Structure 1
Amino acid sequence: MDNIIASIRKHFDVRDESLALMISGLKELNVPKKTMLIQPDRSDKNIYFVENGIARAYTIRDGKEVTSWFSKEGDLLYSTNSFHGPVPGYESETVQVLEDSLLYFMPIDQLEVLCRSHIDIANWMRYVQQKAFVEMERRLINRFYLSAEKRYEDFMANHAKLIQRVNLGYIASYLGISHVTLCALRK
């Protein structure tokens, strides 16, 4: 669990006792690449911690897959509808594992109990949610005000390692550009 622990410790000071308690509640899950971990027609009440591997979330819009986020080592994955309650627009959300991955998971309600009884875990989760919100808002602003070229440059500045690990079509979708445009920008 080195990547998970390192990610938590990198961004937030969670006490050793609280971290040990949270880790003791995690169960290991090996997931082969291309697995649809979370599907829109099934409720998934777990939160997943990525030790090794990568995944993406996407929804279907006008018959096309629209990638909304990527999770890699040290990140969390979960169903937006299960974690936050029913959220309009996420009815077709799918989480797909893109590489053979080692995940750890626990029920969301178990994490909520830990958050209520351990302020440091609650504050870490608040930090994780704030970070995700800021990233989404930054992407939204970039889509409104930056050209496709500038969005690609921003992606490379912040997520350069993903370009070797993720299908270019998924990255194009994430950036809100066509696959053809992305290929032209890469040249």
Structure 2
Amino acid sequence: MVTILDTIMRTYPLDTDTIRLFMDRLQPLRLKKREILIEPGKIDKQVYFVEEGILRSYTVIDGKEVTSWFSVEGDLSFSTASFYGESFGYETETVQALENSLVYYMSIVELEQLCLQHIGISNWLRLLHQRAFVETEKRLISRLYMSARERYDDLYKRNPALFRRVNLGFIASYLGVSQVTLCALRK
């Protein structure tokens, strides 16, 4: 749990007792490459913390997989609808391991209880959600106002390792371009 702990401490340093309470609630789960972690149309009552590997969140639209998010070491992943409203995930929401991965999980209820009892955990989680919201907003704005080249360059500059670890088709989908366009941009 070194990566998870490091990410927490870099985001919002917590005292030793709070870290111990948090870490004691985490359960390990190993995933094989291509294994589905969160299935479409099902309530998932867990939140997952990525220690090793990479996860991809996607939906199926008109028969095509559209990647909405990548979760790498230190990130968390969850069913958005389940996390925020205890309802079924979006009709086709799926989270899949893109590499053999090690994640730790705890129930959403446990995490909510920890947030109520420990302001540090609540603040850490708030900061993570704020960063994800800002990232999502930037992506939306980039799709409206940036060219495909600019979106590609921006993602490559911010996360070059993603291009070595992830299928280019998934990156093209995330950027909102075709694979043909992505290949042309890479040349």
TM-score where L is the length of structure 2: 0.97
Cα deviation, residue 134, structure 1: 0.2
Match of 1:26 in 2: 26
Match in the other structure for 1:157:
157
Structure 1 residue 89: deviation in Å?
A: 8.5
SS in 1 for 2:152: helix
Tell me, which stretches of 5 or more residues in structure 1 are unaligned? none
Shift in CA distance, 33/58, structure 1 to aligned 2, threshold 3 Å: same
Give the 3-state SS of the residue equivalent to 2:159 in structure 1. helix
Tell me by how many angstroms 1:61 deviates. 1.2
**C-alpha distance in structure 1 between counterparts of 2:149 and 2:186, whole Å:** 9
DSSP 3-state at the match of 1:138: helix
Distance 1:182 1:88, change over 3 A: farther
Q: Please say if 1:102 is aligned against 2:97.
A: no
Map of 1:48 onto structure 2: 48
CA shift, 1:88, in A, is 9.3
- The percent identity for this pair of structures is 54
What SS is found at the alignment partner of 2:44? coil
Q: Is residue 58–residue 69 contact of structure 2 (8 Å, CA) maintained in 1? A: yes
Structure 2 SS opposite 1:92: coil
Q: Quick one: distance in 2 between partners of 1:89 and 1:154?
A: 30
* Structure 1 CA distance for aligned equivalents of residues 89 and 8 of structure 2: 30
Contact 1:49 1:105 in 2 (8 A): yes
Q: Would you say 1:118 and 2:149 are equivalent positions?
A: no
Runs of 4+ aligned structure 1 residues displaced above 4 Å come to: 86-89
In the superposition, the TM-score normalised over structure 1's length comes to 0.97
CA contact (8 A) 1:81 1:91 kept: no
Name the Cα RMSD after superposition: 1.3
Q: How many residue pairs get matched?
A: 187
Partner of 1:134: 134
Deviation, structure 1 residue 42:
2.2
The match for 2:143 is 143
- The SS at the match of 2:29 is strand
> Any stretches of 5+ residues in structure 2 without a counterpart?
none
